[in-house]
Amino acid sequence: MRFHLAFIASALSAVTVSSFAPAVGRSGPSAARASSSLQMSEDADTITLGIFGGGTVGGGIVEILSRKASYFKQLTGKNIEVRKVCVRDASKPRDFDLPEGCSIVTSYDEILDDEDIDVAVEVMGGTTDAKDVVVGALKKGKSVVTANKALIAKDLPEIEELLLSLDGTAQFRYEAAVCGGIPIIRSMQSDFVGDEIRLMSGIINGCTNFMLTAMDRDGKSYDEALSKASELGYAEADPTLDVGGFDARSKLKILIRLAYGMDVEEDEISCRGITELTKIDFGYAKTLGGTIKLLGVAERNDSGEVSAFVSPCYVTNDDPLSSVNGATNAIEVISDNLVQSIYIGQGAGRYPTANSCVNDIVALAKGDTTPLPFNPKSTDTKFVNNYESNFFIRLSYRDQVGITRQVGEICEKHGVSIHSILQNPIAKAQESAFAIVTEKVEYAAIVRVLADVEALSWCKGKPFYMPVLREDWQT
């Protein structure tokens, strides 16, 4: 087993103030210098940056570059200089110091139209203005470093087409877009090129992993866990993207392209968050000898078909992913040559994310190039919105005779074999529930079973289900 551990050190150093003008995004025709090589400053010993976004991550990038400037000069042979930081409000105090010769600006064009800036670093977030600056910078011949998973997941084909049309005049780097400080993008671009990836499974959202840890280890309710995550800054004011699984789905889409060479629409990937989980589910998971994690999973079968989903999953206590707690992320890759590789590290935060952006910047300063940043496309891989697994099903009920018989009959009708039926002691009538674990079966069959069960008079609310991560979960 290979363990790739990403430990990110904290740093402190510094930004302040400058001009004020309306921010206007540009994505017009290229005014880039005609060149078949990477654009660089007239000073061959310097690479210059313009950063879009002076918040948490942008400040972290400035701090790391300032603190390690001498080391980076030795490593790359170049001075790495931040010339401009573009922000929405120039009057807002910053928690970092501007390097010498750097200014705060409020117009995107201050960076896009500056021919002396080599690299545009986009850490502003969103998919509208961010797209304008990314596309605009590439068309101007500037290389781009971004941490924007949502933008890449949404517009990957368009970005790829633009990069191909530029014929290597600009580079596109996005290590920080998936799992923050974990170097999974570069690994997918270099470490698995001679390999065949069979399965990827990962804890790829820190907020939900923090919440599930609190529910499992500390006995918190969903609402209590979310409140604590918000208090510590892990959850946004609107946590829907995290708790609904959508953030993880965007990351999974990018990983699917890198691993299998296929572009999948996000809506095609089955996505379920953690909002339906209760203490009851964790109780049954403990009875079975495991816990629950929100995972993004993609797998290629022997026929070459790829399936994927984001969902809470039951994992056993001896599973490598079960002990990954708090806001930590982890990705497991099962492949033919390397067998099992596990990447563990901080998936978000000021310095983990900034560290990955800085690594991309340093790679550009070294002159590293990646002609196909999303890896080559596959022409013979098919995506199927279905997968096989054992499933855990929790059913809440109103007491009456014949409940288990009816469930058994419905399962038999749809070809679902029941492995076991569980029922923990019931302390409160409103918590009346029992659980079923099925044998390995197609997801589509489970959907049909749940639809029929939900229609029964004794069934209270929507049944909850989740896949069991491993086929050999009992061995």
pLDDT 10s digits, 292-310: 999 999 999 988 899 999 9
pLDDT of residue 41: 59
Given 84, 131, 142, 251, the catalytic residue: 251
Length of the chain measured in residues: 475
Nearest to 82 by CA among 51, 109, 104: 51
Q: What Rg value do the Cα atoms of the chain yield, rounded? A: 24
* Active-site residue, 413 included: no
Q: Which residue has the tokens 């099992």?
A: 340
Q: Is the pLDDT of residue 99 over 50?
A: yes
Using CA atoms, how far apart are residues 140 and 318, in angstroms rounded to an integer? 51
Q: What is the DSSP letter of 176?
A: G
Q: What 8-state DSSP symbol labels residue 428?
A: S
Nearest to 292 by CA among 438, 424, 394, 423: 394
| pLDDT exceeds cutoff 50 at 21 | no
User: pLDDT at residue 34 above 70?
Assistant: no
pTM: 0.88
Distance CA 465, CA 451 (A): 12
In angstroms, the Cα distances linking 444 to 4, 314, 452 are: 35, 19, 13
The helix or strand, by DSSP H or E, that contains position 383, with its residue range, turns out to be: strand 382-383
pLDDT for the residue 168:
77
pLDDT at 352: 93
| pLDDT on residue 11 | 36
Q: Which residues of 425-440 are buried (b: 16+ CB within 10 A; e: fewer)?
A: eeeeeeebbbbbbbee
Mean pLDDT across the chain: 89
The 10s digit of each residue's pLDDT in 242-282 is 999 999 999 999 999 999 999 999 999 999 999 999 999 99
Residue 36: what pLDDT? 41
Whether 434 shows a pLDDT value over 90: the answer reads: yes
Whether the pLDDT of residue 417 is over 70: the answer is: yes
At a CB cut-off of 8 Å and minimum separation 6, what does 193 contact? none
Q: What count of other Cβ atoms lies within 10 Å of the Cβ of residue 232? A: 12
Cα–Cα distance between 278 and 154 in angstroms, integer? Answer: 32
Confidence bin at 33 (pLDDT 50/70/90): very low
pLDDT band at 38 (very low <50, low <70, confident <90, very high): low
- pLDDT of amino acid 173: 97
Cβ atoms of 231 and 130 within 8 Å: the answer is no
The per-residue pLDDT for 298 is 97
- What pLDDT score does 440 carry? 95
* Beta strand ranges found along 242-319 (DSSP E): 270-271, 290-300, 305-316
pLDDT at 30 over 60: no
Report strand pairing: 433-438 vs 418-422.
Answer: antiparallel
